[in-house]
């Protein structure tokens, strides 16, 4: 159940990541049949909260709200500015932060979900919540995270990581991806896609995608594979092998594979199978079609192959997913 979402702010808070949490979970979209959340911002310490640009954020200091939270989100921020201009959880605030760390540990122990956006991972590390877990942060900070918390398994390349009830994301826009992933995991693709549509962002980027790609901002339509990606999503049931796709854009197979990796941060096969899983999710939620029919319609061919990829992406079986999101009405 995902209902109460609480965002504790550090003395120095990055407003973009804070805004991501507010936009995904704090915005009322009930007019479109989407769930509303009991959302609140609280001060992580009994000190003034301010942004990088100097304005203050007036929020109450009430850490007791974390006691009943289903999800606690730690946005980017810190207690001091490092030499490179980033915020870090530095010394001098240890005593002030300790009550927040205690609340975070208690939340994880009772089964609540905790997520960090960008360098919010450092606070989770300070609470000991990354020990023995896979985690990530912005690629600029990943070496420091690994050095400060050697018991954490830091992946420097991915967009976000789902490790049980502890979630971590890379920088900036990856926070949107993680928040939508949490919604999708807890409430299904229909809700996640509805929120993404209102935010005018892609409904899904797989967490395993690279944090950065070689050509993130193509300058002309000729320079991008976007038209081909759109075509692929409309023809998921076709045989979309590299040879056929490269021929469609007049490239050699080797050049196409290299270009695809550069633009999307993943391989053609991985991207395609992830899109097929997304299409299968929607049919599992919104239809009574059999597993074999769904598998064939999205291009997996049969239910066994679909199950393999579904478990890889969603960590659950198609049958279990359908039981969860077809049988239970979404909260409003």
pLDDT digits (tens, 9 = 90+) for 17-56: 999 999 999 999 999 999 999 999 999 999 899 998 889 9
pLDDT digits (tens, 9 = 90+) for 239-291: 999 999 999 999 999 999 999 988 888 899 999 999 999 999 999 999 999 99
What's the chain's length in residues? 332
Kindly tell me if the per-residue pLDDT of 213 is higher than 70: no
Task: Count other C-beta atoms under 10 Å from residue 194's C-beta.
Answer: 20
What is the average per-residue pLDDT within 138-144?
A: 93
Domains of the chain: 4-199 (3.40.50.880), 217-332 (1.10.10.60)
Location of structure tokens 């877990």: 133
């Amino acid at each position: 159940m995902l209902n109460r979402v609480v965002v504790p702010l550090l003395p120095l808070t990055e407003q973009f990541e804070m805004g991501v949490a507010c936009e995904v979970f704090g915005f009322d979209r009930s007019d479109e049949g989407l769930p509303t959340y009991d959302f609140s911002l609280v001060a992580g310490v009994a000190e003034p909260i301010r942004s990088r640009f100097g304005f203050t954020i007036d929020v109450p200091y009430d850490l007791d709200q974390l006691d009943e939270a289903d999800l606690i989100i730690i946005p980017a921020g810190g207690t001091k500015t490092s030499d490179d201009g980033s915020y870090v959880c530095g010394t001098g605030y240890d005593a002030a932060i300790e009550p927040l760390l205690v609340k975070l540990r208690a939340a994880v122990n009772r089964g609540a979900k905790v997520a960090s956006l960008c360098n919010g991972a450092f606070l989770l590390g300070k609470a000991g919540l990354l020990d023995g877990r896979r985690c990530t942060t912005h690629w600029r900070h990943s070496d420091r995270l690994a050095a400060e918390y050697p018991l954490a398994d830091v992946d420097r390349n991915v967009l976000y990581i789902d490790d049980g009830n502890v979630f971590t994301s890379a920088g900036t826009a990856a926070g949107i991806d993680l928040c939508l992933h949490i919604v999708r995991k807890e409430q299904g693709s229909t809700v996640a896609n509805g929120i993404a549509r209102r935010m005018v962002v892609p409904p899904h980027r797989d967490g395993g995608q690279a944090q950065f790609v070689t050509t993130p901002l193509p300058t002309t339509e000729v320079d991008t594979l976007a038209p081909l990606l759109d075509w692929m999503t409309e023809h998921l049931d076709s045989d979309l092998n590299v040879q056929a796709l490269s021929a469609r854009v007049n490239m050699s197979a080797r050049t196409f594979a290299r270009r695809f990796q550069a633009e999307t941060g993943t391989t053609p096969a991985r991207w395609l199978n992830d899109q097929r899983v997304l299409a299968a999710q929607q049919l599992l939620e919104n239809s009574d079609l059999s597993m074999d029919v769904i598998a064939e319609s999205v291009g997996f061919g049969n239910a066994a192959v679909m199950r393999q990829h579904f478990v890889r992406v969603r960590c659950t079986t198609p049958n279990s997913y359908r039981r969860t999101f077809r049988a239970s009405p979404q909260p409003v």
